[in-house]
């Protein structure tokens, strides 16, 4: 059965407090935002929500931010959050770019089908009258989450394979590479939020900024027909790789594509934080 990847605030409120439903705050802010997602969670959250920390649910031995952990590591984290096999996990955020999509992608990557993203995030929840807590988060019972095979997505691509794809002649390259960063960063006209990175993009990549998927008036994802128009230049019959700054908003593109019926997306997990730091990786500007 195909699960709608998003859920409305009204639907989510109706499920609040029901056995087998877990709310998870997956907020992440860019290093330049001047905001701390964990502090915001501790101050105010959906009542009973756990904190899905994108900064710590990572491969422990990686020197890159947000590197995908292995199945065993992810399983330990999910059990620590009290998540069980079969739970419906409703992920939300208070980011400007739907960082909750990263948690959605990770759970699906490790075989958990029952996961949906709250459309409109925390603001939509409050607007719908959903219960909010400002109390100190309570200790969590250990869950029995079990990692298994990936659901529908071709998961993750590593840098060596990415270099091989980018290095192919245009007429031999089957993969479509979509970059979720803002246009200024993609073009090499704006500085990266992480120090030491070159400016620009991977040769042959196209730019669909994550912000273009979001309604600026209310923070909701745009309607399906609007998303279809945004992705109209992408061929769903050909493989798609999404990339961004550090692997977070690339998952937002995967979410948008999933909404319009395109699955099997591959995320370049290292994204620009890795590619832009390597002198052996070609870049383009403009």
- Domain membership of residue 286 (yes or no) is no
How many domains are contained in the chain? Answer: 2
Shared domain check, 219 and 167: yes
Range of the domain at 66: 6-133
Catalytic residue among 244, 248, 255, 262: 244
CB 38 within 8 A of CB 45: no
pLDDT band at 152 (very low <50, low <70, confident <90, very high): low
- Domain membership of residue 173 (yes or no) is yes
Shared domain check, 101 and 205: no
Q: How far apart are CA 192 and CA 11, in angstroms?
A: 38
- Domain membership of residue 139 (yes or no) is no
In tens, the pLDDT along 104-133 reads 999 999 999 999 999 999 999 999 999 999
Q: What is the pLDDT of residue 103?
A: 98
Q: For strand 45-46 and strand 132-133, is the pairing parallel, antiparallel, or unpaired?
A: antiparallel
Mean pLDDT of 233-241: 96
Q: How far apart are CA 60 and CA 274, in angstroms?
A: 16
Shared domain check, 65 and 161: no
- Domain membership of residue 245 (yes or no) is yes
Shared domain check, 239 and 189: yes
Shared domain check, 74 and 28: yes
Q: What is the pLDDT of residue 187?
A: 98
- Checking if the pLDDT of 1 tops 70, the result is no
281 is catalytic: no
Lowest average pLDDT, out of 149-153, 187-191, 194-198, 212-216, goes to: 149-153
Q: What is the pLDDT of residue 153?
A: 61
The residues near 121 (Cβ < 8 Å, ≥ 6 apart) are 92, 93, 94, 95, 98, 100, 219
Closest CA to 201 of 190, 215, 211, 210: 190
- Domain membership of residue 138 (yes or no) is no
Domain containing residue 194: CATH number: 3.40.250.10
Say what the pTM is: 0.96
């Amino acid at each position: 059965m195909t699960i709608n990847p998003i859920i409305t605030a009204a639907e989510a409120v109706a499920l609040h407090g029901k056995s087998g439903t877990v709310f998870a705050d997956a907020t992440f802010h860019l290093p330049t935002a001047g905001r701390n997602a964990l502090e915001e969670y501790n101050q105010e959250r959906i009542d009973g929500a756990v904190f899905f920390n994108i900064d710590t649910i990572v491969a422990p031995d990686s020197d890159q931010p947000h590197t995908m952990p292995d199945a065993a590591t992810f399983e330990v984290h999910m059990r620590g959050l009290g998540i069980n096999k079969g739970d419906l996990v409703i992920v939300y955020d208070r980011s400007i770019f739907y960082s909750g999509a990263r948690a959605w992608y990770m759970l699906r990557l490790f075989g958990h089908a029952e996961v949906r993203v709250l459309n409109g995030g925390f603001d939509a929840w409050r607007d719908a009258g959903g219960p909010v807590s400002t109390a100190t988060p309570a200790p969590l019972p250990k869950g029995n989450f079990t990692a298994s095979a990936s659901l529908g997505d071709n998961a993750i691509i590593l840098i060596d394979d990415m270099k091989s794809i980018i290095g192919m002649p245009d007429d031999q390259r089957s993969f479509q590479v979509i970059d979720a960063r803002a246009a200024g960063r993609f073009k090499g006209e704006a500085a990266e939020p992480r120090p030491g990175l070159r400016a620009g993009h991977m040769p042959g990549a196209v730019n669909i900024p994550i912000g273009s998927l979001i309604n600026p008036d209310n923070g909701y994802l745009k309607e399906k027909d609007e998303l279809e128009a945004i992705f109209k230049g992408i061929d769903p019959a050909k493989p798609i790789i999404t990339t961004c700054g550090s692997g977070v908003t690339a998952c937002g593109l995967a979410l948008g594509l999933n909404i319009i019926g395109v699955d099997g997306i591959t995320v370049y997990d290292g994204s620009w934080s890795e590619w832009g730091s390597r002198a052996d990786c070609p870049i383009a500007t403009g």
